[in-house]
Every structure is written in C-alpha cells, then in structure tokens.
Amino acid sequence: MQEFPLKSKLDPAVYGPAESAITADLLEEQMRRVMTVEEAISQKRLFMLDFHDLFLPYVHKIRSLKHTTMYGSRTIFFLTDDGTLRLLASERTRPASPSQPQWRQVFTPSTDTTKSWLWRMAKAHVRAHDAGHHELITHWLRTHCAVEPYIIAANRQLSEMHPIYQLLHPHFRYTMRINALARSRLISAAGIIELSFSPQKYSMELSSVAYDKLWRFDTEALPADLVRRGMAEEDPTAEHGLRLAIEDYPFANDGLLIWDAIKTWVQAYVARFYPDADSVAGDEELQAFWTEVRTKGHGDKKDAPWWPKLDSPESLAHTLTTIVWVAAAHHAAVNFGQYDFGGYFPNRPSIARTVMPVEEPVDGAAMERFLDNPDQALRECFPSQVQATVVMAVLDVLSTHSTDEEYLGGEQTRPWNSDAAVQAAYAGFTARLKEIEGVIDGRNKDRKLKNRCGAGILPYQLMKPFSDAGVTGMGIPNSTSI
C-alpha cells in the first residue's frame, strides 16, 4: 500500500461511493496500536490483495447466474517483525444497482464466535477471488495467452536458421498445442473454468478486460513486475539492483537468481551475433518479427509508448530475456504448484456460491441458518463436490510435467551450432543454474526464513532448475507447456 485512505477509481455515479470502509482506526486496532497507518505505509509494512476495481463491474452480472456470487474485495496484510504477513482486514463491496444502494462491510479476525465464523467465510470469498484471478490472469493471460504472438510472429518472420529463432524456438515448444486444448476444454463456453470458478461465463471477458487495463510488455520482466506491484524499489547498490519490500519473498528471491542467469546467457548470445546497434536495426527479419508482435499480436496496444525498440544489443537482449522469462520461469512459478496449494479445496476454493449472510438487506432465513449451523453455511459457500473434484483433477494434470519435457539449461536444447563462444556461454548458463539449485536448497532449510521453512510451510521449490522432487516435480520447463 502506498496511499491511504483507499479509494476506488471507478465512477461513483455508477458504482456508489469510492471511499473504502477500511478506516485508519480499524487497521491500527488490528496492528495492536504498535504504529499508525501513516507510519506503516512509510515503513512499507502494509500490503493489499486488491480485487476491487477489476471485479466490481462484474458483480451484478455474475450474481445473475445460478450458484455463484461475487464482490469487489480488498484484503490488507501487515508485515510483522519476523518477516511474515498477518491478515488485518478484508472488505466486501456490492456496487449500487437500480434497486439497491451500494453495500460494503469490513471483516476482521475476532474472538467473538459469530464474527470469527464470518471472518472464515469472508476469507473463503477472497480465496475464491484469488483463485479466479490467478487462473484467468496470472496464469492464462500472462503466460499461455501472452506467448502466442511471439510464437506466431517468429514462425512467420524469422527463418529457421536465424539466430534469434534458434534462441527462442525451445521456449515455444508445445505452447500452441496446449493452448488449443485449453480453448476446447478449459476456457471454452461451458468448459471447466466456467463451470468451476466464480466468474463462470464471464471468465474470458474478465481476462480480456484485465489484458486491456493491466498488460504491458515492459512490466512483464521480473524486476519491472516487482517494482510495478510495489514489492521492490530500484537500488543500484542492492543485489540484482532491487531492494525488496519483503526480504523473505521466495518468488522474488529465487526468481531474480533465475532472471539474472537467463539475462547473462541471452546477453552473451546476442553479443555474438549483434556487435553494435546498426546490426540490430539493420536485421530486416528481426525487425519484421518485432513489428508483427506489436502491430498484429497486440494491435490495440501497438502505439503504446512503453514498447521497447529493438535498436541496440542491450534492448534486444532485454526483450528476449523477458520473453524467455515469461515462457519458462514465470509459467513454472504460477503453474506447477497449483495442486500442492489448491488441491485441498478449502485452502483455495475456486468458487464462492453464497453471499455473506450479513449482506444488506439481510436475509433473515439465511442469517438464522448461519447462526444455527455456521459450519454448514461455510460448506454451502464452498464449491460443490462435483466442482471440487473436477478442479482437483485439473490442477493435478496442470501440475504434472510431460514425460518428454525439456528443461531450462538442459542438454536437449544445447545451441544448434558449434560456435565456441555460444557453446561456452550456454555451458556457463547451465553451471549457474546448478549453483542456483544449491542456493535454493540452502534457503529452504534456513529456519530464519519463515515464509519457506517451518511447520506447515511448503518449501519454495518452483524455481529449482533441476529438481527431481518437490512441488514442481522436475525443474523449470523451457516453454509454457504441461
């Protein structure tokens, strides 16, 4: 969080008052009065899971469907002195409609029994929001969907013998096939996603809106992504040139090791074939490839000022590093741990089927049922048995590696030519990945790192390059595939 009070950017004339119901006094009470909200923000101690403005325009649309519901939501966390995040509060908002005013309420941890059960149900709702956002945006949109324009443009504009085609080709393996299967079974009308996740038939529309509002190539690079989300600040004196907002942030800590390894390899490869800016600008195939990515693959964003220009070895290397990162490591991080974290559906329900029983106007019968049997009310909010079973099966498939998978830095994708400089750079890349494997193993055994080591904590293994066990099953695949 970088500002307070929280305020929606949506039109209040349409959606109701923009100001959040989360007050400074409420947050300070939950922080046990150890500091003010202003102090917590200045010290980067408050973090937010924000599904408010993206989801709020879809609340009434989704609620018109059977056996599902939706809210706009904000959930606030406090960074404790031991480096872990503690939940403070979670807000639910139903926008105004022609027949009802806006409704919103903040839920907090409580020792009061009724409020404690409401808190459990509120958490189930936000976990369902997070599950849908993860599958539709973080996973599908930012990896599977976003990689397609690179693949199509490369095959249309680069010859198979072109050095950049040869560099990128391993990172495009099977992606078009798995995307075609997803369109026919997973994200299709009445497919598994629409049947089992809260947005239901609005899933792809929501993903498209998120693309329009949020996706831009220059923030898909890991360092830029961390900075954009407020999880890091640029600092030339810090490792990787970034100072993390949370020191023990496994995705960032391990991911930056992989990012730097990919960048070093790609820079060496580019330097071998492109000694200066003129050699990059004068490569007609390369320029045609990038023009097609921008103007055809992203026609609605083609004139955006943030697109990098391929006008130097440095800009080319950064662009290619971003593509490789997204296709390989980013996809591995958001895909292969899905079953371990979401296979037990109460930990990560894919859908919330009932509204909060205290929503105004309060349904007296629903409130009575909740008070009489809150456990039953919570189970009715969770996915149905059929939905939970289907999602568990799908997450198991998504989290499983192909028997003929090719991995980052592996022998199967050693560069095609016998150029000594290229071969030496790739060997260095492979050796660095093996070193990173050891670093990650050490971190996962470090008791001081409480976000990856301790009772009930899964060790973070999604970035282990060559692992044959653990969450990923086996290393980081070269491409967005399963």
**Spacing of C-alpha 21 from chain mean position:** 27
CA distance 317 to 342: 36
**b/e per residue 134-161 (b: at least 16 CB within 10 A):** bbbbbbbbbbbbbbebbbbbbeebbeee
What pLDDT score does 482 carry?
A: 81
pLDDT digits (tens, 9 = 90+) for 102-149: 999 999 999 999 999 999 999 999 999 999 999 999 999 999 999 999
Beta strands 232-234 and 72-79: pairing type?
unpaired
Instruction: Indicate the DSSP class of residue 253.
Output: H
CA 273, 279, 281, 285 torsion: positive or negative? negative
Q: What is d(CA 238, CA 109) in angstroms, rounded to the nearest whole number?
A: 37
User: Which pLDDT score, from 0 to 100, does residue 469 have?
Assistant: 54
β-strand 232-234 against 242-244: which pairing, if any? antiparallel
User: Hey, what are 139's tokens?
Assistant: 């996973």
What's the pLDDT at 473? Answer: 57
pLDDT 10s digit of each residue in the chain, 482 long?
999 999 999 999 999 999 999 999 999 999 999 999 999 999 999 999 999 999 999 999 999 999 999 999 999 999 999 999 999 999 999 999 999 999 999 999 999 999 999 999 999 999 999 999 999 999 999 999 999 999 999 999 999 999 999 999 999 999 999 999 999 999 999 999 999 999 999 999 999 999 999 999 999 999 999 999 999 999 999 999 999 999 999 999 999 999 999 999 999 999 999 999 999 999 999 999 999 999 999 999 999 999 999 999 999 999 999 999 999 999 999 999 999 889 999 999 999 999 999 999 988 888 999 999 999 999 999 999 999 999 999 999 999 888 888 999 998 788 877 899 999 999 999 999 999 999 999 999 999 999 999 998 989 999 999 876 545 557 899 999 98
CB 81 within 8 A of CB 10: no
> In the structure encoding, which two tokens stand for residue 111, read together?
């020792």
Kindly write down the DSSP assignment for every residue of 293-347, as one continuous string. Answer: HHHTTTGGGTT-TTSPP--SHHHHHHHHHHHHHIIIIIHHHHHTTHHHHHSSGGG
DSSP 373: -
Contact present, 20 and 4 (Cβ < 8 Å): no
**Cα separation of 294 and 150, whole Å?**
9
pLDDT, position 281: 97
Which residues participate in catalysis according to the annotation? 139, 144, 331, 335, 482
Which of 66, 89, 64, 70 minimizes the C-alpha distance to 78?
89
What pLDDT is attached to residue 472? 55
- Rounded Cα–Cα distance for residues 142 and 290 (Å): 18
Q: What is the dihedral of CA 70, 74, 75, 81, to 10 degrees?
A: 170
Whole-number Å distance between alpha carbons of 412 and 169: 12
The predicted pLDDT at position 33 comes to: 95
